[in-house]
Amino acid sequence: MMPSSTPRLRRLTGAIVVAALAATLPTVTHAQQVANADYQIAEAVQAAPPASRAGATVHGWTPDGTSVTLRRGTNDLVCLSDNPAADGWSVACYPTSIEPYMHRGRELSAAGTTDSQERLRIRWAEADAGTLAMPEDPATVYILAGEGFNADTGEVINPFLRWAIYTPWATPESTGLPPQPLAPGAPWIMFPGTPGAHIMVTPPRPGGND
Protein backbone atom coordinates (compact mmCIF):
# COMPACT_ATOMS: atom_id res chain seq x y z
CA MET A 1 0.00 0.00 0.00
CA MET A 2 1.16 3.55 -0.65
CA PRO A 3 1.49 5.66 2.51
CA SER A 4 -1.51 7.79 3.36
CA SER A 5 0.35 10.19 5.61
CA THR A 6 1.15 13.80 4.72
CA PRO A 7 3.29 13.81 1.55
CA ARG A 8 6.96 14.58 1.70
CA LEU A 9 7.65 18.21 0.86
CA ARG A 10 11.15 19.11 -0.09
CA ARG A 11 12.81 22.24 -1.38
CA LEU A 12 12.91 22.87 -5.11
CA THR A 13 16.36 23.87 -6.31
CA GLY A 14 16.48 26.73 -8.75
CA ALA A 15 19.45 25.59 -10.80
CA ILE A 16 19.12 23.48 -13.94
CA VAL A 17 20.03 19.89 -13.15
CA VAL A 18 21.85 18.13 -15.96
CA ALA A 19 19.76 15.23 -17.21
CA ALA A 20 22.73 12.92 -17.09
CA LEU A 21 22.95 13.43 -13.36
CA ALA A 22 19.29 12.89 -12.68
CA ALA A 23 19.84 9.18 -13.07
CA THR A 24 23.18 9.01 -11.30
CA LEU A 25 22.75 10.80 -8.00
CA PRO A 26 25.23 9.71 -5.31
CA THR A 27 24.47 6.88 -2.96
CA VAL A 28 24.95 7.21 0.79
CA THR A 29 26.69 5.16 3.43
CA HIS A 30 24.08 5.58 6.15
CA ALA A 31 20.44 4.53 6.27
CA GLN A 32 17.90 6.84 4.66
CA GLN A 33 14.17 7.02 5.22
CA VAL A 34 12.89 5.41 2.05
CA ALA A 35 9.26 5.07 0.95
CA ASN A 36 7.86 1.64 0.17
CA ALA A 37 7.98 0.17 -3.33
CA ASP A 38 4.41 1.08 -4.30
CA TYR A 39 5.00 4.71 -3.38
CA GLN A 40 8.30 4.87 -5.27
CA ILE A 41 6.73 3.31 -8.36
CA ALA A 42 3.77 5.69 -8.24
CA GLU A 43 5.98 8.78 -7.99
CA ALA A 44 8.55 7.61 -10.55
CA VAL A 45 6.09 7.13 -13.40
CA GLN A 46 4.71 10.66 -13.03
CA ALA A 47 7.51 11.78 -15.38
CA ALA A 48 6.34 9.44 -18.14
CA PRO A 49 3.67 10.10 -20.77
CA PRO A 50 0.41 8.79 -19.25
CA ALA A 51 -0.01 6.02 -21.83
CA SER A 52 3.42 4.58 -20.97
CA ARG A 53 3.23 4.61 -17.16
CA ALA A 54 1.67 1.21 -16.50
CA GLY A 55 4.27 -0.69 -18.54
CA ALA A 56 7.43 1.14 -17.50
CA THR A 57 10.29 -0.51 -15.67
CA VAL A 58 10.93 1.31 -12.38
CA HIS A 59 14.16 1.67 -10.41
CA GLY A 60 14.08 2.88 -6.82
CA TRP A 61 16.18 3.00 -3.68
CA THR A 62 16.90 0.93 -0.59
CA PRO A 63 17.56 2.43 2.87
CA ASP A 64 21.33 2.11 2.38
CA GLY A 65 21.16 4.18 -0.81
CA THR A 66 21.47 1.33 -3.30
CA SER A 67 19.58 1.52 -6.59
CA VAL A 68 17.22 -1.42 -7.05
CA THR A 69 14.70 -2.53 -9.69
CA LEU A 70 11.24 -2.28 -8.17
CA ARG A 71 9.24 -3.39 -11.21
CA ARG A 72 10.06 -5.03 -14.51
CA GLY A 73 8.19 -3.34 -17.33
CA THR A 74 6.53 -4.40 -20.55
CA ASN A 75 7.42 -1.40 -22.74
CA ASP A 76 10.62 0.43 -23.66
CA LEU A 77 10.52 3.04 -20.89
CA VAL A 78 12.53 3.14 -17.65
CA CYS A 79 11.62 5.40 -14.71
CA LEU A 80 13.57 6.43 -11.61
CA SER A 81 12.01 7.32 -8.28
CA ASP A 82 13.13 10.29 -6.21
CA ASN A 83 16.49 9.80 -4.51
CA PRO A 84 16.05 10.62 -0.79
CA ALA A 85 19.79 11.35 -0.51
CA ALA A 86 19.53 14.27 -2.96
CA ASP A 87 18.24 17.79 -2.42
CA GLY A 88 14.81 18.60 -3.78
CA TRP A 89 12.33 16.19 -5.36
CA SER A 90 12.88 14.87 -8.87
CA VAL A 91 11.96 11.79 -10.91
CA ALA A 92 12.87 10.87 -14.47
CA CYS A 93 11.93 8.49 -17.28
CA TYR A 94 13.82 7.55 -20.44
CA PRO A 95 13.88 4.87 -23.18
CA THR A 96 15.75 1.60 -22.70
CA SER A 97 18.21 2.62 -25.43
CA ILE A 98 19.98 4.92 -22.98
CA GLU A 99 19.71 2.63 -19.94
CA PRO A 100 23.33 1.35 -20.28
CA TYR A 101 24.57 4.94 -19.92
CA MET A 102 22.28 5.70 -16.98
CA HIS A 103 22.97 2.34 -15.30
CA ARG A 104 26.70 2.91 -15.56
CA GLY A 105 26.32 6.21 -13.75
CA ARG A 106 24.47 4.57 -10.89
CA GLU A 107 27.07 1.80 -10.83
CA LEU A 108 29.89 4.32 -10.51
CA SER A 109 28.04 6.08 -7.69
CA ALA A 110 27.60 2.81 -5.82
CA ALA A 111 31.33 2.12 -6.24
CA GLY A 112 32.19 5.43 -4.56
CA THR A 113 32.60 7.83 -7.50
CA THR A 114 30.55 10.63 -5.98
CA ASP A 115 31.90 13.47 -8.13
CA SER A 116 29.45 14.06 -10.97
CA GLN A 117 32.09 15.36 -13.37
CA GLU A 118 34.23 12.28 -12.81
CA ARG A 119 31.25 10.03 -13.55
CA LEU A 120 30.74 11.88 -16.80
CA ARG A 121 34.43 11.64 -17.70
CA ILE A 122 34.52 7.89 -17.10
CA ARG A 123 31.36 7.20 -19.08
CA TRP A 124 32.38 9.41 -21.97
CA ALA A 125 35.76 7.67 -22.17
CA GLU A 126 34.05 4.27 -22.19
CA ALA A 127 31.57 5.38 -24.84
CA ASP A 128 34.36 6.79 -27.02
CA ALA A 129 36.20 3.48 -26.63
CA GLY A 130 33.10 1.56 -27.68
CA THR A 131 32.75 -0.32 -24.40
CA LEU A 132 29.64 1.56 -23.25
CA ALA A 133 26.62 1.30 -25.54
CA MET A 134 24.95 4.55 -26.53
CA PRO A 135 21.62 5.08 -28.34
CA GLU A 136 21.81 5.20 -32.13
CA ASP A 137 18.65 7.30 -32.37
CA PRO A 138 17.61 10.31 -30.28
CA ALA A 139 16.55 9.28 -26.77
CA THR A 140 14.27 11.58 -24.77
CA VAL A 141 14.64 11.86 -21.01
CA TYR A 142 11.64 13.27 -19.14
CA ILE A 143 12.71 15.08 -15.95
CA LEU A 144 9.97 16.04 -13.50
CA ALA A 145 10.73 18.21 -10.47
CA GLY A 146 8.39 19.43 -7.76
CA GLU A 147 7.92 19.92 -4.05
CA GLY A 148 6.90 16.32 -3.43
CA PHE A 149 4.40 13.61 -4.35
CA ASN A 150 0.97 13.19 -2.73
CA ALA A 151 0.15 9.47 -2.75
CA ASP A 152 -3.44 10.14 -1.68
CA THR A 153 -4.24 12.19 -4.79
CA GLY A 154 -1.60 10.69 -7.09
CA GLU A 155 -0.36 14.18 -7.91
CA VAL A 156 2.99 15.95 -7.88
CA ILE A 157 3.02 19.16 -5.88
CA ASN A 158 3.95 22.12 -8.11
CA PRO A 159 5.26 19.97 -10.98
CA PHE A 160 7.81 21.25 -13.48
CA LEU A 161 8.64 19.07 -16.49
CA ARG A 162 11.61 19.50 -18.81
CA TRP A 163 13.18 17.33 -21.51
CA ALA A 164 16.68 16.24 -22.48
CA ILE A 165 16.99 14.58 -25.90
CA TYR A 166 20.21 12.59 -26.01
CA THR A 167 21.99 12.71 -29.36
CA PRO A 168 25.50 11.37 -28.66
CA TRP A 169 28.37 13.28 -30.29
CA ALA A 170 25.99 15.84 -31.81
CA THR A 171 27.28 19.38 -32.34
CA PRO A 172 25.79 22.81 -33.02
CA GLU A 173 26.75 22.27 -36.65
CA SER A 174 24.99 18.89 -36.93
CA THR A 175 21.83 20.04 -35.14
CA GLY A 176 21.63 23.75 -35.97
CA LEU A 177 21.20 24.45 -32.25
CA PRO A 178 23.22 26.90 -30.13
CA PRO A 179 25.25 25.82 -27.07
CA GLN A 180 23.01 27.95 -24.84
CA PRO A 181 19.32 28.92 -24.88
CA LEU A 182 18.61 32.02 -26.96
CA ALA A 183 15.20 32.62 -25.34
CA PRO A 184 13.17 31.20 -22.44
CA GLY A 185 12.14 27.66 -23.36
CA ALA A 186 14.22 27.58 -26.53
CA PRO A 187 16.12 24.34 -27.25
CA TRP A 188 19.91 24.26 -27.01
CA ILE A 189 22.62 21.62 -27.04
CA MET A 190 24.54 20.70 -23.89
CA PHE A 191 27.92 18.93 -23.91
CA PRO A 192 28.21 19.19 -27.71
CA GLY A 193 30.62 16.79 -29.42
CA THR A 194 30.66 14.37 -26.48
CA PRO A 195 28.86 11.05 -25.91
CA GLY A 196 26.68 12.93 -23.43
CA ALA A 197 25.48 15.53 -25.93
CA HIS A 198 21.80 16.26 -25.50
CA ILE A 199 19.24 18.85 -26.52
CA MET A 200 17.76 20.64 -23.52
CA VAL A 201 14.19 21.93 -23.60
CA THR A 202 13.35 23.80 -20.39
CA PRO A 203 10.10 25.78 -20.49
CA PRO A 204 9.78 28.89 -18.36
CA ARG A 205 8.68 28.11 -14.84
CA PRO A 206 5.15 29.04 -13.83
CA GLY A 207 5.10 32.59 -12.54
CA GLY A 208 8.21 33.52 -14.49
CA ASN A 209 10.70 32.11 -11.97
CA ASP A 210 13.39 30.46 -14.12
Percent of residues in the chain assigned helix, strand, coil, to nearest 5: 25, 25, 50
pLDDT in the model for residue 28: 36
- The arithmetic mean of pLDDT across residues 140-156, rounded, is 96
Q: What is the mean pLDDT of the chain?
A: 86
- What pLDDT, in 10s, does the model give residues 151-165? 999 999 999 999 999
* pLDDT at 69 > cutoff 50: yes
Q: Report which of 48, 50, 208, 196 is spatially closest to residue 123, judged by C-alpha positions.
A: 196
Whole-prediction pTM: 0.82
Out of 23-27, 104-108, 179-183, least confident range: 23-27
Evaluate if residue 14 carries a pLDDT over 60: no
Q: Categorise residue 100: left if φ over 0, alpha if ψ from -120 to 50, beta otherwise.
A: alpha
pLDDT at 33: 77
- pLDDT reported for residue 85: 86
User: What is the band of 79 on the pLDDT scale with cuts at 50, 70, 90?
Assistant: very high
Q: What is the mean pLDDT of residues 9-24?
A: 35
Q: In what helix (H) or strand (E) does residue 190 lie, and over which residues does it extend?
A: strand 188-190
For residue range 21-31, what is the model confidence (pLDDT) as tens digits? Answer: 343 333 333 45
> What does the pLDDT read at residue 64?
86
Q: Is the Cβ–Cβ distance between 140 and 95 less than 8 Å?
A: yes
Q: Given this model, what pLDDT does residue 11 score?
A: 31
pLDDT at 36 over 80: yes
- Read off the pLDDT of each residue in 35-44 and give the average, rounded to a whole number: 95
pLDDT of amino acid 205: 85
Domain ranges of the chain: 19-162
